[in-house]
Amino acid sequence: MKQEQNIEKGFFKEIDKISPAYINTQNPKHIEIDNIFYSGLIFVNYNRENTELILKKLIDTDINMNISIFYEKLDSYKAIRDLTYNITNVGIDLKDGKKEKTDIEIAAFTYNDAKFIRKEIQINNEDIYFLYIYLEIFSRDEKEQEYLLNKIEGLLQGQGIQTRRGNFRQEQIFLSSMPFMINNKDLKKASRRNILTSGLIGTYPFITSSIFDEKGIFYGTNIYNNSLIFIDRYAEEKYKNANMCIFGTSGSGKSFFTKLQILRYRLSGIEQYVIDPDREYTKIAENLEGTVIKIGASSETYLNILDIRQESIEEEKGYLATKISRLIGFFNLLFGNLNEEEKAILEEKLIECYMKKGITFEDESLYKNEKNKINIKPIFKESKDMPILEDLYNILGKDKRTKEMQTKLIPFIKGSLKFFNNYTNINLDNKLIIADIYELGEENLKYGLYLFTEFFWDKIKKDRTIRKAIYLDEVWRLIGVTSNKHVANFIYKIFKTIRKFGGSSIAITQDISDLFSLEGGVYGKSIINNSSNKIFFSLEEENISILSEYTKLSEKEKIEIRSLKRGECLIFAGDEHLLTKVECAEFEKMVIE
């Protein structure tokens, strides 16, 4: 091995590893390097007044090119002296009027320009520069190269910019377009134009419509120019929160996009909890060694809605009070919208139910031993120490006022939904957990959605230092007309406060109208407003109209959303609005599909 290494060192130097195999400079129209053709353009003139960024249309194309810009600052004192000399001489020529009319008009332009530049330097403290711009286009096909050159020349002419092909100067343009800070003297004579400080703004090159967050994950490519889009939802200095809304019709690509998010954040080590009403995420969980929890008639995993978990508290105290406020929302789903009297009676029965298990509004009652006893670690009560729905059912049956409530609980105690009436047997530490509620059926999905949302919310609050995300698919069921304001308030609270727990909420839906059907759409609007990232896949006209009332969709963006193809989306990331094509590698497809 040592001999082989020595032989290799003898033949190859470090520079050989990066040098091209060949360079062909025989053709004056281009140079050829390793089967790639390079052709250069020199910017030679511009509009006298240009209000646009002159490179914007170039950068927004998907043509492969290198752009090199040189600014050469001049001595202001010398510039004023030369301008004064020029103004004096031209002024004399204009007074004589002996030249032809065309020459006089040119002289007048020169005279006025010189006076304007001198005034800006002397009075407005502007500096004067020489500007040089070179453009290098490259392609693997010679015919395509000619086509691209013509396209770029036409684009620039439309902006009032004149260019000259760099025939017989291709090597000089190539070197001037490399990061060597070489502005070839032969090119400078052809491309030099003067410009004031205020005019430099028009040459600003960093204007590509793209996002490249340092710690972001790959979303896709810009549809217009193929630039890469990397977004870090958790970048607090850039985005107000890490929340996201994903909208799109069935088959538009929103589920595929969501799975890509799960895959890429899984590789980043972020904890993720997914509520899956349509059994779409089972395979990705298996391939990523995540955990799937099924709740349904055939499942053997149970989650007790009456559990109080140690991490459920949000302030310094108030375990039972916090739990009861959440349960009122759940029982509103189960019993229908309760009036104030019914809520008060139900709360009374819940308090009694917990009292029978020795749990009161005193937080110490949630511990098996004395919490404050010296040298003894407090032990929080387990699920088997909590009441279950049957305990509440029995209490409701003892009071005439709650007989109707007891009747509505029968399916959950003795009927098809009796799997809700069990102690929790789930103890999970996996960073990817999928809650499969497919077996609940259309009518009962909202119970499973709420059950797991509350469970995952407690897990999210466990450690503020760890980044995590909760995905709420078919979120309209919890904040739409089939829900109630107590549940919707709980979901809104998650979106509003999850940031301080290091978390991110992702709302996914195709039923836009239902999202805004409760309380005049106030909850749907609140969730959108509390999501710094919004993803719009293809939508129907009706849904676009509804969304435009609650988001800053321009007329152009409405048209774009209508014409999006499968896998294409409009991304709102903070203040950036980008049309994006979702991209993934083949191995990612194998993991997802």
Q: Which SS3 state, helix, strand or coil, does residue 576 take?
A: strand
Which fold is adopted by the domain 302-425? Helicase, Ruva Protein; domain 3 (1.10.8)
The full 3-state SS of 360-406, as one line of letters, equals CCCHHHHECCCCCCCCCCCCECCHHHCCCHHHHHHHHCCCHHHHHHH
Q: Rounded to whole angstroms, how far apart are CA atoms 576 and 574?
A: 6
Q: Which SS3 state, helix, strand or coil, does residue 115 take?
A: helix
pLDDT at 101: 60
pLDDT at 114: 84
Distance of CA 106 to the CA centre of its chain: 53
Domain ranges of the chain: 21-74+127-203, 242-300+430-593, 302-425
pLDDT at 371: 55
- Least Cα distance to 488 among 454, 447, 528, 523 occurs for 523
- Least Cα distance to 581 among 224, 322, 326, 249 occurs for 224
242-300+430-593 carries CATH number 3.30.950.10 = no
Contact 452, 435 (CB under 8 A): yes
Q: Rounded to whole angstroms, how far apart are CA atoms 70 and 181?
A: 8
pLDDT at 42: 96
Q: Rounded to whole angstroms, how far apart are CA atoms 35 and 444?
A: 63
Cβ within 8 Å of residue 49, ≥6 positions away? none
pLDDT in tens, 338-380: 899 999 999 999 999 999 999 999 999 999 876 555 566 788 9
Tokens of 331: 């029982």
pLDDT at 60: 77
Other beta carbons less than 10 A from residue 465's beta carbon: 6
Q: Which SS3 state, helix, strand or coil, does residue 24 take?
A: strand
Q: Rounded to whole angstroms, how far apart are CA atoms 320 and 313?
A: 9
Q: Which SS3 state, helix, strand or coil, does residue 72 take?
A: strand
pLDDT in tens, 274-302: 999 999 999 999 999 999 999 988 888 89
* Single pTM value for the model: 0.74
Tokens of 197: 């400080």
Q: Rounded to whole angstroms, how far apart are CA atoms 515 and 522?
A: 10
Other beta carbons less than 10 A from residue 66's beta carbon: 17
Q: Rounded to whole angstroms, how far apart are CA atoms 474 and 438?
A: 12
Residues of the chain with pLDDT under 70: 1, 4-12, 48, 50-51, 97-103, 207-209, 314-317, 370-376
pLDDT at 428: 77
Q: Where are the alpha helices (DSSP H) in 250-402?
A: 254-267, 282-287, 319-335, 340-355, 389-396
Contact 57, 51 (CB under 8 A): no
Residue with tokens 């699920």: 383
pLDDT at 375: 60
Containing 136, the helix (H) or strand (E) segment is: strand 128-139
Phi-psi region of 34 (alpha: psi -120 to 50; beta: other; left: phi over 0): left
- Least Cα distance to 500 among 267, 314, 270 occurs for 314
pLDDT at 103: 67
Beta-bridge mates of residue 535: 246, 571
Tokens of 164: 């000259």
Contact 300, 497 (CB under 8 A): no
Q: Rounded to whole angstroms, how far apart are CA atoms 542 and 514?
A: 12
Contact 470, 460 (CB under 8 A): yes
Cα atoms in the 13 Å half-sphere on the side-chain side of 305: 29
Q: Rounded to whole angstroms, how far apart are CA atoms 549 and 556?
A: 15
The full 3-state SS of 516-554, as one line of letters, equals CCCHHHHHHHHHHHCCCEEEECCCCHHHHHHHHHHCCCC
